Structure 1
Amino acid sequence: MRIRRREPDHRVLYLVAARCLDYPTTEFVAMLPACVAALAEHGNSPPVVTLRELLTALSTRTLADLQNNYVETFDFSSKHALYLSYWSDGDTRRRGEVLAQFKSVYRQSGAVIDTHGELPDYLPLVLEFAARGDLEAGRALLARYRSSLDMLHKSLHSKESHYARAVAAVCDTLPAAHATEAPPPPTELVGLTGYQGRP
């Protein structure tokens, strides 16, 4: 009889990564020690070690520094967009359909998702859904957009941003994407009526 390999439970890692990739607040700074302690209970696998390195880097900075760096990294350029379907569909008609598919996944899981005004493909939101809502469905979304995560990681790494570690940690929990060079996100700037958020 063939025994199916059980996937590791990465819910804590996904939740910590979600917190790291969201806008820094006083609450986030206060919870950094708890994040470190939570990861310490999950061994020394490569993604856990990578995420701990990020927490260490974030812990050495003031809140104002964290906020300024976050805005500079994610709000001033679409090159580091935290919206998964942006990397594959850009601002096109198709992206509106894809965003609806994200919402459909959330509804079908039965989880109550507060988007806080963000688009449903916002990476911290997807990670929190995987951590607190439906691990299997959330992981499937992340795996489906592994190429988007790879492109985001490459862009952050080229900027020498410490946030690249959070994306790298998430990628390390997923199947490898096909080794193809993806084109830049297409732009059309139509078809997103009814969706608010960046970019």
Structure 2
Amino acid sequence: MINYQQLTALAPVWATLSRLIDYPQPDTFSATNRATLATAPQIPDPVRTQALACFDQLARGSRLEQEQHFADLFELNRRYTLYMTYYKMSDSRERGTVLAKLKMLYEMFGVSEVSDELADFLPLMLEFFAYGDFLNDQRQADLSLALGVIEDGTYGLLQRASVDSEDPYIQLISVIRNLFKACLVKEASVNA
């Protein structure tokens, strides 16, 4: 079961994580983005510590070095991609159906894509959770599609990335996964 209050309260964090996991821009590693991670009360302390460590490691070096690191890991390396459905569906027809459903989901909650990226691109999905208006919407259950895609995709990426598990981008994927898990409420089992 999804805790929609927590999911919504993390909106600034989702926006910041979207910037951090995407190709570095001039303001990616700004003091404002770091402060969002450092001060958001909804982030559990162990996740906050990991997120700040990732931020600090990724912020090191020149902008060119930052861009090169990202490109080497996600653009020039066939093992890792930020397209979350790829890990479970590769290039199957089913993947196309899920991408279409995600695009409709974004539009249904008032987020229109202004990117050329596919609907399962992790930074785009994080932006959806940052800017979507779903707190009091009767269609909240439909969000389970996007959450499931993130769950499966981050799991698949982390499984493949075991040899690079210390890379700060891979650690950032773990942070994202743990924050989404923090938005889930375990239903009490009935043992009568």
TM bracket (short chain): 0.7 to 0.9
Asked whether the equivalents of residues 46 and 169 of structure 1 are also in contact (C-alpha less than 8 Å), the reply is: no
Residue 82 (structure 1) aligns with: 82
Q: Alpha-carbon deviations, 1:117-171, whole Å to 9, x = none?
A: 1111100000011012246669634531212211212333421321012111111
SS at match of 1:112: coil
Counterpart of 1:155, as a letter, is R
Residue 190 (structure 2) aligns with: none
Task: Report the CA distance shift for 1:15/1:141 in structure 2 as closer, same or farther (over 3 A).
Answer: farther
Counterpart of 2:179, as a letter, is T
Instruction: State the Cα distance separating 1:6 from its structure 2 match.
Output: 5.2
Partners of 1:139 and 1:55 in 2: CA distance: 28
Structure 2: 5+ residue stretches without partners = 183-192
Asked whether the equivalents of residues 46 and 172 of structure 1 are also in contact (C-alpha less than 8 Å), the reply is: no
Instruction: State the Cα distance separating 1:65 from its structure 2 match.
Output: 0.5
Instruction: State the Cα distance separating 1:15 from its structure 2 match.
Output: 1.5
Partners of 2:28 and 2:180 in 1: CA distance: 26
Is residue 51 of structure 1 aligned with residue 56 of structure 2? no
Partners of 1:103 and 1:93 in 2: CA distance: 16
Task: Report the CA distance shift for 1:155/1:108 in structure 2 as closer, same or farther (over 3 A).
Answer: same
Q: TM-score, structure 2 length as denominator?
A: 0.78
Residue 61 (structure 2) aligns with: 61
Instruction: State the Cα distance separating 1:86 from its structure 2 match.
Output: 0.7
Instruction: State the Cα distance separating 1:106 from its structure 2 match.
Output: 0.8
Partners of 2:107 and 2:181 in 1: CA distance: 25
Q: Could you tell me which of 142, 158, 167 is aligned with 2:163?
A: 158
More divergent stretch after superposition (90-99 vs 9-18): 9-18
Residue 125 (structure 1) aligns with: 124
Structure 1: 5+ residue stretches without partners = 177-199
Residue 147 (structure 2) aligns with: 143
Q: Alpha-carbon deviations, 1:85-141, whole Å to 9, x = none?
A: 1111101122111110110101111223312x1111100000011012246669634
Asked whether the equivalents of residues 17 and 170 of structure 1 are also in contact (C-alpha less than 8 Å), the reply is: yes
Asked whether the equivalents of residues 102 and 146 of structure 2 are also in contact (C-alpha less than 8 Å), the reply is: no
Instruction: State the Cα distance separating 1:55 from its structure 2 match.
Output: 1.0
SS at match of 1:78: coil
Partners of 1:139 and 1:78 in 2: CA distance: 29
Counterpart of 2:105, as a letter, is V
- State the identity as a percent: 24
Residue 34 (structure 2) aligns with: 36
Q: TM-score, structure 1 length as denominator?
A: 0.75
Q: How many residues align?
A: 171
Instruction: State the Cα distance separating 1:7 from its structure 2 match.
Output: 3.2
Partners of 2:102 and 2:159 in 1: CA distance: 24
Asked whether the equivalents of residues 129 and 135 of structure 1 are also in contact (C-alpha less than 8 Å), the reply is: no
Partners of 1:141 and 1:57 in 2: CA distance: 32
Counterpart of 1:129, as a letter, is F
Partners of 2:81 and 2:39 in 1: CA distance: 31
